[in-house]
């Protein structure tokens, strides 16, 4: 349990990739703070499972990722109740699919706020704690769309490209503080976020569900297989090891070969 005594805060972690991160960190002894939406009883069950796995604290914080004050308060609560904030994973995300001339402004703003600006505010709040400790890991879930584009995803691609740039910049700022900053760029991972965008893509492109799955989503991945949340979490876990301390400012693809094309 190489993370025993450390605390990981993971945004957007009540399901999907975020929950896989939380489980991976808890299995290595870290206290975890999960965040996101969902059924209260199910979240409490998950919280209890994480605490049992780690033998350490497991907290749930309902901070709204569109509210800077709530994000900062979550980081401060984590530090106060567990004693530190050592690992920050920016994973909260939303998606909407539409051509730019039909893209609702409110959807665009929500995507930018949750996928990009929430990470900026969380980093701003967490970095001082990591500097004091002389150790920290900041990991953001970007996307293959931080490197390439797809039609009808203007806001998402804009936000994820921005997240990759934010990662590089903050990595340079804390390079001598014992803190690394990286992003992981998965291809299509079978999560509720991906499943939820299928109807929009069906409507936007006039395709069936099967056509969206095979001809749109998996068409980009030479492996013709979805990435799993556990595969993404395994890379995040490695980035927390001492062996990975020279990896910073990197955008690491886990995309079945998508961006190799």
* 136 touches 154 (CB < 8 A): no
- Catalytic residue status for 156: yes
Chain center to CA of 99: 25
Torsion, Cα of 165, 248, 181, 255 (10° steps): 70
Catalytic residue among 21, 60, 156, 188: 156
* 115 touches 107 (CB < 8 A): no
Chain center to CA of 147: 16
Residues paired with residue 59 on neighbouring β-strands, in sequence order: 33
The CA–CA distances, whole Å, from 216 to 108, 168, 198, 207, 219 equal: 22, 30, 10, 9, 5
- Which residues in 63-135 belong to E strands, given as ranges? 87-90
- The residues carrying an active-site annotation are 156
């Amino acid at each position: 349990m190489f993370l025993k005594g450390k605390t990981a805060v993971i945004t957007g972690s009540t399901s999907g990739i975020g929950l896989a991160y939380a489980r991976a960190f808890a299995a290595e002894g870290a206290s975890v703070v999960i965040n996101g939406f969902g059924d209260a009883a199910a979240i409490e069950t998950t919280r209890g499972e994480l605490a049992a796995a780690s033998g350490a604290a497991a907290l749930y914080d309902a901070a709204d990722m569109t509210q800077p004050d709530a994000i900062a308060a979550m980081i401060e609560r984590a530090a106060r109740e567990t004693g530190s904030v050592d690992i920050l994973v920016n994973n909260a995300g939303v998606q909407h699919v539409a051509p730019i001339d039909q893209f609702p402004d409110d959807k665009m703003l929500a995507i930018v706020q949750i996928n990009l600006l929430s990470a900026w505010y969380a980093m701003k709040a967490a970095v001082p704690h990591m500097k004091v400790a002389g150790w920290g890991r900041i990991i953001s879930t970007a996307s293959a769309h931080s490197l390439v584009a797809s039609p009808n995803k203007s806001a998402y691609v804009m936000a994820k490209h921005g997240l990759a740039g934010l990662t590089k910049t903050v990595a340079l700022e804390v390079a001598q503080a014992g803190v690394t900053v990286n992003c992981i760029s998965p291809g299509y991972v079978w999560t509720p976020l991906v499943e939820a965008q299928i109807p929009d893509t069906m409507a936007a492109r006039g395709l069936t569900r099967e056509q969206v799955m095979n001809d749109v989503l998996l068409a980009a991945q030479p492996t013709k297989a979805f990435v799993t949340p556990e595969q993404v979490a395994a890379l995040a876990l490695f980035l927390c090891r001492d062996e990975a301390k020279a990896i910073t400012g990197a955008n690491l693809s886990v995309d079945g070969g998508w961006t190799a094309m």
